[in-house]
C-alpha cells in the first residue's frame, strides 16, 4: 500500500493504526503543537489577492508592493500587519505569477 500511495511504510502504519483504533473520525486532523496561526485562511487569501494587484489599482500611489507597504494596505481590513514570513510568501507568489 505504501508504494501505491507513494509514502513511507511507517506513515501507512500510523494511519492504519489510527483507523483501527477509532474508525474514520480518528483520521481527522489532530491539534498541532506550537503557536497558533496569527491569520485566518481568509485573511491570507485576501492579502494574496491584494498582492496580485498593482498598488495603483487599489488607490496606493506606488509602483510595486514591498513588505512595509503591504501591511498598511491590509490593515484597513482589520488585520494586523503581516509578519515577515507572510510578506515574503506574498511577494514570492506575485513574482512567480
Residues 48 and 15 in one domain: no
Average pLDDT over the chain, rounded to an integer: 75
pTM greater than 0.75 (yes/no): no
Number of domains present in the structure of the chain: 2
pLDDT digits (tens, 9 = 90+) for 46-70: 877 777 777 777 777 777 767 666 6
Residues 20 and 51 in one domain: no
Dist. CA 75–CA 46, nearest whole Å: 11
Q: 77: domain range?
A: 41-96
DSSP assignment letter at 47: H
For residue 35, tell me if it sits in a domain: no
For residue 54, tell me if it sits in a domain: yes
Amino acid at each position: 500500500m505504501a508504494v501505491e500511495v507513494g509514502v513511507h511504510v511507517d506513515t501507512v502504519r500510523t494511519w492504519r493504526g489510527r483507523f483501527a483504533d477509532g474508525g474514520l473520525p480518528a483520521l481527522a486532523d489532530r491539534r498541532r503543537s506550537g503557536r497558533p496561526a496569527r491569520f485566518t485562511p481568509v485573511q491570507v487569501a485576501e492579502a494574496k489577492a491584494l498582492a496580485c494587484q498593482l498598488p495603483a489599482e487599489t488607490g496606493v500611489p506606488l509602483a510595486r508592493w514591498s513588505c512595509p507597504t503591504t501591511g498598511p494596505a491590509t490593515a484597513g481590513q482589520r488585520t494586523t500587519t503581516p509578519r515577515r514570513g507572510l510578506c515574503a510568501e506574498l511577494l514570492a507568489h506575485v513574482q512567480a505569477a
